[in-house]
Chain A
Amino acid sequence: MAERIVSRPEALPLGPIGGRGIGWNGMVMLVVAEASLFGYLLFSYYYLAVSNPPGWVLESEPSLKLALPNTFLLLASSVAAWWGERGIRKDDRGQALGGIGLAIAMGAVFAIVQGFEWKDKAYGLGTSSYTALYFVTTGFHMAHVIAGLMILGALWLWTWRGFFSPLRMLPMANGIVYWHFVDAVWLAVFSTYYLSPYLGVGQ
């Protein structure tokens, strides 16, 4: 005789715990969609680079004077954010506030330096398809930096108000991952616009 089975789980976690929970799956979706967006921007770059005559890349040796240190700064901010998140995991609010605060400061400096970088360019948005794509790609990235800074700001505030503990911290885990994502994207953008010309792409 066939038997009816009834699922009777033992104690189940209640709500999101630590960095785990269904909200985490949602975050992965956001990152995939956003990563695709940047993928298409870079696709456009390489597509235009190969379908244009040589000389399309206006700067065959882009200056790395500001961009390279700025890149390291952004990467360092990821480390700071990670360290801040660890603060929450250890229930050390001071470390969390310090880490996230530092990440915000570094991210803000990155944004300002990038502003100077834009100002220093000899060309404008409408000069050519290369310049348009340069400003749009770095501009999209900047929009993400600003969004990321707002998220970090909110996390800082919420940490300060004592919202998070090692066990209830999913918004923190998600926000920090978003910041890591913003940094990872910069690496792709940076390699494309600042490094690949040295390899002869689009020359």
Chain B
Amino acid sequence: MSAADLTAGREGPLADTDTRLSRTPRVAVADAALRDRLERIWRTEPGLKGWFGTVDHKEIGKRYLVTAFIMLAIGGIEALVLRLQLAGPNKHLLTPEQYNELFSTHGMTMIFLYAGPVLSGFSNYFFPLWLGARDMAFPRMNALSYWIYLAAALFLYAGPLVGAGPNDGWFNYVPYAEKAFNPGINEDIYALGMVFLGISTSVGAANFIVTAARCRAPGMSINRLPIMVWGTLTASAANLVVIPAVSLAFFLLWMDRNLGTSFFTVAGGGEPLLWQHLFWLFGHPWVYAIVLPAMGMVSDGLPTFSRTPLVGYTLVALSTVATMLLGFGVWVHHMFATGLPGLGLAFFSGASIIITIPSAVAVFAWLATIWLGKPVFTTAFKFFAGMILLFVIGGVSGFMTASVPADWQLTDTYFVVAHLHYVLIGINVFPVCGATYMWFPKMTGRLMDERLGWWNFWTMFLGFNLAFLPMHLTGLLGMPRRIYTYDAGMGFSALNMITTIGSFVFAVGVLMFFWNVIKSRRSGAIAGPDPWSGPSLEWTIPSPPPPYNFAVIPTVASRHPLWEDQLDETENRSSFEEGMTLDEGKEALAVSILDAEPDRILKMPSDTTAPFWLTVATAVLFAGLLGKLWWLAALGGIGAIASLAFWNEPRTKLLEREPDAHEERRNG
């Protein structure tokens, strides 16, 4: 777009050469002076203010990752206690109520506080690096989404800490969760905490979408995006429209419990199934949201270690989108046993079976990639390849429960517990571990230990299968899920003992993973910028990356910018050394959505504590609602409004407004 277009159709005077409104970016080869200047512009101040105020996506990404891994550890310990209780018949380690709280808290922790956020952490750290950008589209919102995630996690954990954790499962069915049957404060904390957490997820989703759409290197048209970007993009698009469903459901539940409404109780004309619809309208897309980005990790990771491009890039990208689109229409498969009309069941059953097709496409693409490539058997590769097997097992058991008659047999048995762990551990935890081995060197500059990695992978892989494969059988034999114990004569005892042993083996594997991370951070071998000879942009910059990521904006000529010489598919080569400098302040580039043509120079916000204070105010608001201290809630609300007003005040530095007359004078 030229400066003339920009004024076309507008009233008022604007000369073509108005340097206030447009600029021809300087193009140069990156040199030390430029790096120095950018470093000064982009770096986060040391000290408390910098710590609370940073908007650097890498810092935020790391915080997300660390917090999510802590949640994984906590949720894991909870699971081990559950398994101890179930190790043999008639054990009394936990009371039934404690068991209820523990499995519900485990589910909540793993699903909402680990599996989603850990992927956000990776995407936060790597979106700009994969895309050739200097930061996310909205850095302050990025900080906000982390702070709210942290605050909501603390809020949700206030329950278990005072012995009032959620106790109706992670999907929290009414009428169990209604006040009449569950008078404690447990469900109030869970309900409000989930509404609170929803803000974080929504804000993050919006940010990922706009970043993927607008903040890319020139030339990175949408058919050149890494699959991981496709995964996070589709997951975010889904989250944006389905999070409101669950937030609303939890809010209405809170009203039922505290303000005497009857949305979900039959007595007042409410409908318990409304809860299930609202929950699963969200819940099913959400389970895709916590696996699609992880599948993207595999789609980008396997080719890197197989030293060949992903087979069927376009098909895999499309299948990612197709899975999500179909995913909106299958939520009722969680409700097959609720007595809905047969025709509806048939429809949703069909849709759920069809949805396995795009997943199968991805699986075949991965297998073909390994087959055609020259795999390097690193730990990361093992995790990615191991995932394929677990995905197939989890997919098959899912396929089985998608059929209504089978589901009527299997629902609420350990078969479902086996299925969901194959899917969640197989398609989330394994890829996440692989991704950590792969990208840890980029984040820290050091490699993780491969020898320990070997032990790490095999312990996790064997432990996991030992624990969860027999569980299918436990379920087929009829052991219901969510029971705190069982009798000796039922034929479950041996299987449960195996599962418990497997769980502990798996946990030892996870421990090795954490140990490897902690140890390698200090003493791992120095990685250099590109330890795996990877194909994508993040490998062109130093490890760890400087605050500004790219000294000059790269230009992308193909899907595999760093493999162009080997592949020799195109006439042109991408450029990393020479490019736009954008160094007249904290600047980034925006591009057009489809072709990634340069479109605009963005002025990026500097560090600010506004997101932190907004989070504090919102937490006060929710605490007020929880205690029904309306004055406290009002105080929080006012604080939130004040933070928002301060945040959104148009700023000259961001070119959101005209400078004041006196400011003009001051600036000469």
Q: Which residues of A contact B (CB under 8 A)?
A: 2-18, 21-23, 25-26, 29-30, 32-34, 36-37, 39-41, 43-44, 47-48, 51-52, 56, 89-91, 125-130, 132-133, 136, 150, 154, 158, 162-168, 170-171
With A3-B572, A6-B555 known to touch, is A12 a contact of B271 (CB < 8 Å)? no
**Per a CB cutoff under 8 Å, which of A6, A126, A154 touches B27?**
A6
- Contact call B598/A16, Cβ cutoff below 8 A: no
- Contact call B21/A167, Cβ cutoff below 8 A: yes
- Contact call B23/A44, Cβ cutoff below 8 A: no
**Per a CB cutoff under 8 Å, which of A5, A130, A171 touches B575?**
A5
Complex Cα gap A16–B643 (Å): 23
19 A-B pairs besides A6-B579, A7-B219 with CB distance below 8 A are A4-B575, A8-B27, A9-B25, A12-B25, A12-B598, A13-B600, A15-B603, A21-B600, A22-B590, A26-B206, A40-B248, A44-B274, A125-B259, A125-B261, A129-B271, A158-B657, A166-B10, A168-B657, A171-B650
- Contact call B11/A12, Cβ cutoff below 8 A: no
**Per a CB cutoff under 8 Å, which of A11, A16, A21 touches B3?**
A11
Complex Cα gap A89–B570 (Å): 46
From 180 to 224 in chain B, residues with beta carbon under 8 angstroms from any chain A beta carbon are 202, 205-206, 209-210, 213-215, 218-219
Contact size range, B: 35 or more
Q: Which residues of B contact A12 (CB under 8 A)?
A: 1, 22-25, 598-601
Q: Which residues of A contact B346 (CB under 8 A)?
A: none
Q: Which residues of A contact B138 (CB under 8 A)?
A: 22, 26
Q: Which residues of B contact A44 (CB under 8 A)?
A: 248, 252, 263, 274, 278
Contacting chain A: which of B239-247, B390-398, B489-497, B538-546? B239-247
Mask: chain B, 228-252; 1 = CB below 8 Å from A; 0 = not: 0000000000001111110110001
Cβ distance B557 to chain A, nearest Cβ, rounded Å: 5
- Contact call A36/B269, Cβ cutoff below 8 A: no
**Per a CB cutoff under 8 Å, which of B553, B571, B641 touches A3?**
B571
Tell whether B660 is near chain A: CB-to-CB under 8 Å.
yes
Q: Which residues of B contact A133 (CB under 8 A)?
A: 263
- Contact call B655/A36, Cβ cutoff below 8 A: no
Cβ distance B554 to chain A, nearest Cβ, rounded Å: 9
Complex Cα gap A52–B263 (Å): 12
With A6-B555, A163-B657, A164-B658 known to touch, is A126 a contact of B262 (CB < 8 Å)? yes
From 610 to 668 in chain B, residues with beta carbon under 8 angstroms from any chain A beta carbon are 641, 645, 648-650, 654-658, 660-661
- Contact call A22/B600, Cβ cutoff below 8 A: yes
Q: Which residues of B contact A125 (CB under 8 A)?
A: 259-261
Tell whether B72 is near chain A: CB-to-CB under 8 Å.
no
Tell whether B367 is near chain A: CB-to-CB under 8 Å.
no
Complex Cα gap A167–B247 (Å): 38
CB pairs A–B below 8 angstroms (27 shown)? A3-B571, A5-B219, A5-B573, A7-B579, A7-B598, A12-B24, A12-B600, A12-B601, A14-B601, A18-B10, A22-B210, A23-B656, A25-B210, A26-B141, A29-B210, A40-B278, A44-B263, A44-B278, A47-B271, A56-B269, A130-B269, A150-B641, A163-B650, A164-B650, A165-B12, A168-B657, A170-B656
- Contact call B240/A29, Cβ cutoff below 8 A: yes
Please, which residue of chain B has its CB at the minimum distance from the CB of A132? Answer: B261
With A12-B22, A136-B255, A168-B655 known to touch, is A162 a contact of B206 (CB < 8 Å)? no
Q: Which residues of A contact B277 (CB under 8 A)?
A: 43, 47
Q: Which residues of A contact B219 (CB under 8 A)?
A: 5, 7
Complex Cα gap A202–B240 (Å): 30
**Per a CB cutoff under 8 Å, which of B23, B25, B601, B658 touches A168?**
B658
Closest 9 pairs between A and B when the two form their complex, measured CB to CB:
A15-B655, A29-B206, A7-B218, A126-B260, A132-B261, A37-B244, A163-B657, A129-B269, A9-B598
Q: Which residues of B contact A25 (CB under 8 A)?
A: 137, 210, 213-214
Complex Cα gap A150–B262 (Å): 32
Complex Cα gap A12–B5 (Å): 10
With A4-B572, A26-B137, A164-B658 known to touch, is A11 a contact of B11 (CB < 8 Å)? no
- Contact call A14/B240, Cβ cutoff below 8 A: no
Complex Cα gap A34–B206 (Å): 12
**Per a CB cutoff under 8 Å, which of B262, B578, B599 touches A6?**
B578
- Contact call A26/B27, Cβ cutoff below 8 A: no
**Per a CB cutoff under 8 Å, which of B21, B202, B245, B575 touches A14?**
B21
Please, which residue of chain B has its CB at the minimum distance from the CB of A166? Answer: B12
Q: Which residues of A contact B214 (CB under 8 A)?
A: 22, 25
Mask: chain B, 255-287; 1 = CB below 8 Å from A; 0 = not: 100011111000011110110011001000000
Tell whether B510 is near chain A: CB-to-CB under 8 Å.
no
Q: Which residues of A contact B241 (CB under 8 A)?
A: 32-33, 36
- Contact call A16/B656, Cβ cutoff below 8 A: yes
- Contact call B6/A17, Cβ cutoff below 8 A: yes
Please, which residue of chain A has its CB at the minimum distance from the CB of B269? Answer: A129
- Contact call B273/A13, Cβ cutoff below 8 A: no
Q: Which residues of A contact B281 (CB under 8 A)?
A: 40
Complex Cα gap A44–B609 (Å): 39
Q: Which residues of B contact A136 (CB under 8 A)?
A: 252, 255, 261
Tell whether B154 is near chain A: CB-to-CB under 8 Å.
no
